Structure 1
Amino acid sequence: MLAHKDEHFSGRSGWLRAAVLGANDGLLSTASIIVGVAAASSATGPVLVAGLAGLVAGALSMAAGEYVSVSSQADSESADLAREARELTRNADSEFEELVGILRTRGMSEATARQAALEMSEHDALGTHAREEIGLSDALAARPLEAAAASAIAFLVGGIPPLIVAAVTPFSGLAIAVSVVALVMLLALGAAGAKLGGAPIGRAAFRVAFWGVIAMAVTYGIGALFGTRL
């Protein structure tokens, strides 16, 4: 008989966070740059150059930032695991009793907790203490390269559509077209992220779209105020 394996939303948290944030930032920052520069310019060329530069720089920045952040988390996890390994070597008995106590707080009787602690420790003592004592597991482990790649790719995926819209739309309607496309995509992105993460779809989509509208409105206002078309 095949074992039944459930797929839980929490197991997606690492890559989902990086992917959603990357796509949202790519879409919103690129669209905002395009809208702001369009408000300050009188031709499409500068808008496209600014949008492309922002797209490339943003993707690299997201990857670097995510890598550094998640690497710091990974370093902390490695330090905790190393300390736990030393404790298991030096104080095996006290660590075992600590595990029994943790299992008892979760509803097990003394006898059951001791038997479970014994079997779990024999199977994987360090993994058991990492999971039960300090909350670390393979599913939620920090993966810097994975997070960095997801952020960069997602940023590019989110930022390319407004750039394409700007390239094919006449300059007179460029800012409006990019804003509309960005708003629709923000709604879709918020809904997709909520769906994958098991969160309420409507609230997540509205939240993403609301702040997107604010960002584009502010950048447009700055462009119009300081640009050539006052």
Structure 2
Amino acid sequence: MSADATQDGKKPHRHGHSGEPHAGNGLANRLNWLRAGVLGANDGIVSTAGIVVGVAAATVDRGPIFTAGIAGLAAGAVSMALGEYVSVSTQRDTEESLLSKERRELLESPQAEFDELVGIYENKGLSHETACRVAAELSEHDAFEAHAEAELGIDPHDLTNPWQAAFSSAVSFTLGALLPLVAILATPASWRIPVTFVTVVIALAITGATGARLGGSSPWRPMCRVVVGGAIAMVVTFAIGRLVGTSVA
């Protein structure tokens, strides 16, 4: 048995990020990636909007606004990509370690592992005879895969990909960041901040509602949270930009 077995001899059933088993969850995994993309875009919108609104409060020149916006976009995208790569790499390392341990246990004590698999299916409500039959048939097909999915909640053929996660995060952040940047640069100086504020609020409402829908919850509370948070961020950076810009001038 592995070192992380519980006191009654049963291994805990492990789950992925969403709290659901990996096995048979191709759609759930895709929805998780989509939700992560929406959150990345939301981060890009809020952080870049805060930067450009703050700079626009201090100066009407497009040059500094453009420079600050691009710098924030690039820094944010790289930071998101690196953070996601490190996080998902750690998760993948953990999954590979657990799979290696399970493979070793199958070689060293196959009968004990078989009995454990039977116990898992019994705990799910199957009779002992049915659980034995299911465990036997799954073990004949692919014992390692059966144990990985039932005991660890890991599909050994569908491990998380840190490069894919990093790329997705960088792209989603960039797309979100471009919205306030384009809005503030394409608008006359007197209308820059109001137009950007409205554009960002609408975009945040859409991303908040989309994320909630993907998560299967009501959109109103998440939508209000991201809209209020984004609005507060822009108000704060606007005040700082106006204060600092006036002081420097």
Q: TM-score when scaled to structure 2? A: 0.84
Query: What secondary structure sits across from 1:136 in the alignment?
Result: coil
| 1:154 has 2:172 as partner | yes
| 1:223 has 2:223 as partner | no
Residue matched to 1:62: 80
Residue matched to 1:171: 189
Q: CA deviation at 1:180?
A: 0.9
Residue matched to 1:120: 138
1:141 equivalent among 149, 156, 159: 159
User: Cα distance 1:166–1:57, how it changes in 2: closer, same or farther (>3 A)?
Assistant: same
Structure 1 CA distance, aligned partners of 2:246 and 2:61? 11
Residue matched to 1:206: 224
Query: What secondary structure sits across from 2:160 in the alignment?
Result: coil
Q: CA deviation at 1:138?
A: 5.8
| 1:87 has 2:105 as partner | yes
User: Cα distance 1:184–1:58, how it changes in 2: closer, same or farther (>3 A)?
Assistant: same
Structure 1 residues without counterparts, runs of 5 or longer: 1-5
| Percent of residue pairs bearing the same amino acid type | 48
Structure 2 CA distance, aligned partners of 1:154 and 1:117? 42
Structure 2 CA distance, aligned partners of 1:140 and 1:10? 13
Residue matched to 1:3: none
Q: How many residues align?
A: 225
Query: What secondary structure sits across from 1:227 in the alignment?
Result: helix
Contact persistence 1:41–1:228 (CA under 8 A): no
Structure 1 CA distance, aligned partners of 2:156 and 2:80? 24
Contact persistence 1:11–1:139 (CA under 8 A): no
Q: TM-score when scaled to structure 1? A: 0.91
User: Cα distance 1:191–1:169, how it changes in 2: closer, same or farther (>3 A)?
Assistant: same
Q: CA deviation at 1:144?
A: 0.7
Structure 1 CA distance, aligned partners of 2:111 and 2:143? 12
Structure 2 CA distance, aligned partners of 1:175 and 1:167? 10
Moved more, 45-54 or 108-117: 45-54
Residue matched to 2:33: 15
Structure 2 residues without counterparts, runs of 5 or longer: 1-23
Moved more, 73-82 or 188-197: 188-197
Structure 2 CA distance, aligned partners of 1:178 and 1:138? 46
Amino acid at match of 1:209: V
Residue matched to 2:56: 38
Q: CA deviation at 1:32?
A: 0.7
- Structure 1 outlier segments of 4+, above 6 Å: none
Contact persistence 2:37–2:168 (CA under 8 A): yes
